[in-house]
Amino acid sequence: MIKNMVKVFFSNVSSLIISFITSIIIARILGPEGNGQLGVIILIPSTLYVIISGQYFGDSQYFTKKSIYSKEEMISSSLIIYGFLCAIQMLLVTGYHMISYVPNYIYIILMIVVLNLNLFIMPFLIAIDEIKAKNILTVMSSILNALQVIILVILLNNTVNVKQIAMTQIITFAVADAVGMYIIFSNKKGKLDFSLRKNFNIIKSVFGFVKSCYISNVANFLNFRIDQWFILGFGGNASLGLYSVAVNMAEKLWIIPDSIAAILYPGIAAMDNHKKVIKSINKIIFWGSVAGLLGWGLIFLILDKLIILIYKSEYLQVSQVIKILFPGIIMFSIGKIVTCFLSGVGRPDLRVKPSVIGTVSNLILNIFFVRKYGIVGAAFSTTISYTIYGVWTTLVYFKISKEYA
């Protein structure tokens, strides 16, 4: 398990470095206003996916690792869910577009198609132990997107626009989806059965488990992104462009807990004895907290100059936002790891209360803070809610882990 975590971590780091450089180029070319418009193209599909499905594809790993259903059964049922999700999301966006114009409508529709499929493929590759393939796809996607952006810059110089950048991301997802589906189909041994009666029972069974995760998954995602919706509403695209840069930089720290969680969750689900993994998680919590405090001190020393160096001076406020977000990001990182344990031992219901309370607090604080203090107010709201979630889930973990030690 540790070896797989390390492999996922290094592939994520490679991808992060490439995508981070790409994001700098994009932010400098588009400016805060254009960067905000680009953010909306991904924000709408990702928000709709989580609200409608509750991150169905991620939590369905449990059934594959437990061998409750075969790979073929999970592929066919998941593809049916994928088609349903795309149809519902497209109808909602199109319906709203008919009432009130949605900028970049066609790109949002295309993003729905490729992003939803990607959200099925990536966790499923881990569930069927195609971790190497998943790692290669992660890095390949970052390289492909970077190359497209660089080619656009070379050919069009300063005339690159939001639609062209959005198209590079759509193409990147489409290529990754095609390769990922090829790997998944190569891995299956039997035929896929798309009969509605059989798949309905599978989907019903999966949703029976996922419903315990649904509220916490939706609440957590809204906790991640509700501040961006408030900023878009009160401050417009330019404010969202600044804030999204800060959030993207701060959330890069989640590469460590996400890499751990990607392997930890399905690994715990397949375990009978949890003593060793509990000891490892306890060490991660301690050393992660220490590293977080040291990192927070470091960014106060260097971040202002770093932002001016890699972005333009118009992005300087990003530094202030990251300094405020940082402790909340650390606390939520710990929450990401401990909730993997809770889900892995079949107790995803224990994630619900902290997720809901954290999100509700973020919602209430954003109502008051964003209108008055803009992106700084959003950062304070988010870090408070992240801290509530992280502390609460950690206390729950320490209580429950005693039963498995």
Say what angle helices 162-187 and 71-99 make with each other, to 10 degrees. 160
Q: Rank 163-172, 244-253, 268-277, 368-377 by mean pLDDT and report only the highest.
A: 163-172
- The rounded distance, in Å, linking the Cα atoms of 7 and 154 is 34
Q: Per mean pLDDT, which range of 30-34, 194-198, 234-238, 297-301 is the poorest?
A: 194-198
Average pLDDT over residues 321-330: 89
For residues 194 and 5, the answer to whether their CB atoms sit within 8 Å is no
For residues 232 and 27, the answer to whether their CB atoms sit within 8 Å is no
Calculate the average pLDDT of the chain. Answer: 82
Both tokens of residue 257? 């807990």
> Nearest Cα to 322, choosing from 303, 302, 297?
303
Residue 4: its H or E element: helix 2-53
> Nearest Cα to 257, choosing from 389, 349, 362?
389
> Nearest Cα to 295, choosing from 250, 257, 243?
250
Both tokens of residue 362? 């973020």
Report the sign of the C-alpha dihedral through residues 240, 319, 168, 165, in that order.
Answer: positive
Q: How confident is the model at residue 178 (pLDDT cuts 50, 70, 90)?
A: very high
Q: How confident is the model at residue 272 (pLDDT cuts 50, 70, 90)?
A: low
> Phi then psi for 356, rounded to 5 degrees?
-65, -45
For residues 98 and 158, the answer to whether their CB atoms sit within 8 Å is no
pLDDT at 263: 66
Q: 3-class DSSP state for residue 273?
A: coil
Helix residue ranges, H only, 196-269: 196-251, 255-269
pLDDT tens-digit map of 80-106: 889 999 999 999 999 999 998 888 999
pLDDT at 167: 95
Report the sign of the C-alpha dihedral through residues 338, 343, 346, 351, in that order.
Answer: positive
For residues 137 and 176, the answer to whether their CB atoms sit within 8 Å is yes
Angle at 52 between CA 204 and CA 256, to 5 degrees: 100
Strands (E), 114-169: none
pLDDT at 70: 76
Neighbours of 48 (CB within 10 A): 20
Average pLDDT over residues 374-399: 89
pLDDT tens-digit map of 112-168: 999 999 988 888 887 777 878 888 888 889 899 999 999 998 888 778 899 999 999
* Rounded-to-10 torsion of CA 249, 338, 292, 361: 70
The amino acid present at 377, given as its one-letter code, is G
23 burial class (0-12, 13-18, 19+ CB within 10 angstroms)? buried
- Top pLDDT among 55 and 302 is at 302
Q: How confident is the model at residue 199 (pLDDT cuts 50, 70, 90)?
A: confident
Question: Which residue matches tokens 């660089």?
Answer: 150
Helix residue ranges, H only, 157-195: 162-187
Helix, strand, coil fractions of the chain, as percent rounded to 5: 90, 0, 10
For residues 183 and 71, the answer to whether their CB atoms sit within 8 Å is no
Q: Above 70 in pLDDT, residue 33?
A: yes
Residue 278: its H or E element: helix 275-310
- The rounded distance, in Å, linking the Cα atoms of 58 and 8 is 16
Q: Above 70 in pLDDT, residue 10?
A: no
Average pLDDT over residues 382-390: 90
Read off the pTM. 0.73
Q: Rank 153-157, 221-225, 335-339, 377-381 by mean pLDDT and report only the highest.
A: 377-381
pLDDT at 65: 64
Report the sign of the C-alpha dihedral through residues 266, 270, 274, 276, in that order.
Answer: negative
Q: Which long-range contacts (CB under 8 A, 24 or more apart) does 18-25 make?
A: 18/139, 18/142, 18/143, 18/146, 19/142, 19/145, 19/146, 20/249, 20/252, 21/146, 22/142, 22/145, 22/146, 22/149, 23/245, 23/248, 24/310, 24/311, 25/149, 25/150, 25/153
Domain segments of the chain: what residues? 2-401
pLDDT at 182: 92
